[in-house]
């Protein structure tokens, strides 16, 4: 599991480090700041497109071989970013790198849950995702400092080295499949993916995480223009957000191992409360810092439960595809949240309105989750009736 964490760390750094290097990239490549910002969007779209494509193409491969192949793509993609002579080639390299993202976390989730007892599955996923959270605390600040000190290309070379290390660790420590993989039928995988419970699980993920990024996208202006912090104080405060990510991720995994459904509903409710109360907290400096940490904790407490939920909804067939696409759903939520926050500002409601509008999004996710739970209960009743009829029929025979 910790070998998977190493790969997750590298992927987390390459996804987010570009945020601190936009000025350097735009100046070096002669593009506008907004164009440089599209490198973030391009990566997110690469995750959304790459997750189903790569999972389907590698469906017949042993899972360890899939993970190793994805890390090779990750290494080549980051090296291409470091060497990119133009903006277009950098964008293409970012999209190529993103193709490894969704399937790595999707297949990695299946591998991680297979390494532990059934009652520890969510915690296993949380351990893997710890690499992503630690990347935000340590990897991204270091990568930003390195890029600003030695040029933005140095950051991508450093991430390439991280990828090489992760490749070696996965090769050494992740066990091979205990038995040859079953023949994969992509049509069966898609049918499993299109089942109502799976689709509702994916929608819950999109809406749940959209609430986080509605605020997080605009956290810097909230801290400076509303809370009254200096720009120099933003980076240290974001470390508090990173600590919250790690804590919430591990707590969410533990609680989901106890009761999955209540944990999903409870974590989404806590997220909605944190976002709603943040409307008032950002006007006080101490409370603003506290709630930035709580936002990280509440947001990531939903991640491993939602990932396990979709994994279980797929019920065997299409698990890797469903888990990979759920990673794309998280990224789609990021994009939706950033758009929603911008829409609030465009409507003239002001930065202070962003948190309470964001709180409405996880509340809508709760409604979707309740719908899914009701559908599950109905299907269980149907199965019980069917089994009872079959039992009576066999007894009569």
Q: How far apart are CA 104 and CA 116, in angstroms?
A: 19
Q: Let me know if residue 393 belongs to a domain.
A: no
Q: For all residues of the chain together, what is the average pLDDT?
A: 84
User: Do 136 and 243 sit in the same domain of this protein?
Assistant: no
Query: Are 133 and 104 contained in the same domain?
Result: yes
Query: 397 in a domain, yes or no?
Result: no
Q: Are residues 158 and 16 in the same domain?
A: yes
Burial readout 100-120 (b: 16 or more C-beta within 10 A, e: otherwise): bbbbbbbbbbbbbbeebeeeb
Structural domain ending residue among the three candidates 161, 181, 201: 181
Q: Are residues 190 and 133 in the same domain?
A: no
Q: For CA atoms 46, 308, 12, 77, give the dihedral sign.
A: negative
Domain membership of residue 394 (yes or no) is no
Contacts of 387 (CB under 8 A, 6+ apart): none
Same-domain pairing of 3 and 138: yes
Q: How many domains are contained in the chain?
A: 2
Could you read off the pLDDT of 121-176 as tens digits, one per residue? Answer: 888 888 888 887 888 777 777 887 888 788 899 999 999 999 999 999 999 988 88
Domain end among 181, 213, 236: 181
Same domain, 131 and 203: no
- Which class for 134: exposed (0-12), middle (13-18), buried (19 or more C-beta within 10 A)? buried
Per-residue pLDDT, 23: 78
Q: Are residues 247 and 366 in the same domain?
A: yes
The C-alpha atoms of residue 82 and residue 76 are separated, in whole angstroms, by 10
3-state helix, strand, coil in the chain (%, to 5): 85, 0, 15
In a domain? residue 346: yes
User: Are 192 and 300 within one domain?
Assistant: yes
CA distance 225 to 244: 23
Domain CATH for 69: 1.20.1250.20
Residue 364 in contact with residue 207, Cβ under 8 Å? yes
Q: Specify the pLDDT at position 388.
A: 62
Domain annotation covers residue 389: no
State pLDDT tens for residues 259-273.
Answer: 888 999 999 999 999
Q: Quick one: 168 and 189 in the same domain?
A: no
Query: What is the per-residue pLDDT for 338?
Result: 78
Instruction: Provide the Cα torsion 36, 40, 42, 45; round to 10°.
Output: -160
| Weakest mean pLDDT among 39-43, 86-90, 189-193, 237-241 | 189-193
pLDDT at 71: 93
The whole-angstrom separation of Cα 284 and Cα 164 is: 45
Per-residue confidence band for 376, with pLDDT thresholds at 50, 70 and 90: confident
Structural domain that includes position 155: 1-181
Q: Which of 159, 181, 203 is where one domain is finished?
A: 181
Within a domain: residue 396? no
Cα separation, 8 vs 14, in Å, equals 10
391 falls within a domain: no
The pLDDT tens digits for 307-352 are: 888 877 776 556 777 777 888 888 888 778 878 888 888 888 888 8
pLDDT tier, 393 (very low <50, low <70, confident <90, very high otherwise): low
Q: Are 110 and 182 in contact (CB under 8 A)?
A: no
Task: Please indicate, yes or no, whether residues 149 and 280 belong to a single structural domain of this protein.
Answer: no
Q: How far is C-alpha 198 from the chain's CA centre?
A: 17
Query: Within this chain, do residues 101 and 233 fall inside the same structural domain, yes or no?
Result: no
Does 90 map to a domain?
Answer: yes
What is the secondary structure of 66-93 as a DSSP string? HHHHHHHHHHHHHHHHHH--SHHHHHHH
Backbone angles phi, psi at 343, to 5 degrees: -65, -40
pTM: 0.76
Are 77 and 122 within one domain?
yes
Question: Angle at which helices 33-57 and 22-29 pack, to 10 degrees?
Answer: 100
In angstroms, the CA 345 to CA 327 distance is 28
């Amino acid at each position: 599991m910790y070998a998977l964490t190493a790969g997750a760390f590298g992927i987390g750094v390459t996804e987010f480090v570009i945020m601190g290097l936009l000025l350097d990239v735009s100046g070096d490549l002669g593009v506008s700041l907004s164009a440089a910002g599209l490198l973030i969007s391009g990566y997110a779209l690469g995750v959304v497109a790459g997750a189903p494509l790569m999972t389907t193409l590698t469906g017949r491969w042993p899972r360890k071989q899939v993970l190793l192949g994805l890390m090779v793509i990750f290494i080549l993609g980051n090296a291409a970013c470091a060497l990119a002579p133009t903006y277009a080639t950098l964008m293409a390299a970012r999209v190529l790198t993103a193709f490894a993202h969704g399937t790595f976390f999707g297949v990695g989730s299946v591998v991680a849950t297979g390494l532990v007892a059934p009652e520890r599955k969510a915690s296993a996923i949380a351990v893997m995702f710890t690499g992503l959270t630690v990347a935000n605390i340590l990897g991204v600040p270091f990568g930003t400092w390195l890029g600003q000190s030695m040029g933005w290309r140095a950051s991508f070379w450093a991430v390439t080295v991280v990828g090489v290390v992760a490749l070696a660790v996965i090769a050494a420590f992740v066990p091979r499949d205990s038995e040859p993989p079953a023949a994969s039928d992509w049509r069966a995988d898609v049918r499993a993916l299109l089942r109502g419970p799976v689709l509702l699980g994916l929608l819950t993920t999109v809406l749940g995480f959209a609430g986080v990024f509605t605020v997080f996208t605009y956290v810097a202006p909230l801290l400076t223009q509303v809370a009254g912090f200096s720009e120099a104080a933003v980076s240290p405060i974001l470390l508090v957000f990173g600590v919250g990510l790690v804590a919430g991720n591990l707590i969410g995994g533990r609680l989901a191992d106890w009761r999955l459904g209540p944990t999903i509903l409870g974590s989404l409710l806590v997220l909605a409360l944190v976002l709603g109360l943040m409307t008032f907290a950002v006007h006080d400096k101490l409370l603003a810092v506290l709630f930035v940490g709580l936002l990280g904790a509440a947001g990531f407490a939903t991640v491993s439960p939602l990932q396990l939920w979709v994994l279980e909804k797929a019920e065997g067939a299409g698990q890797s595809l469903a888990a990979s696409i759920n990673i794309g759903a998280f990224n789609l939520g990021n994009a939706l949240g950033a758009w929603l926050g911008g829409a609030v500002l465009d409507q003239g409601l002001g930065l202070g309105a962003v948190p309470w509008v964001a709180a409405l999004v996880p509340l809508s996710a709760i409604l979707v989750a309740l719908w899914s739970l009701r559908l599950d209960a109905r299907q269980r009743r149907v199965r019980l009736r069917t089994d009872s009829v079959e039992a009576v029929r066999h007894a009569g025979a």
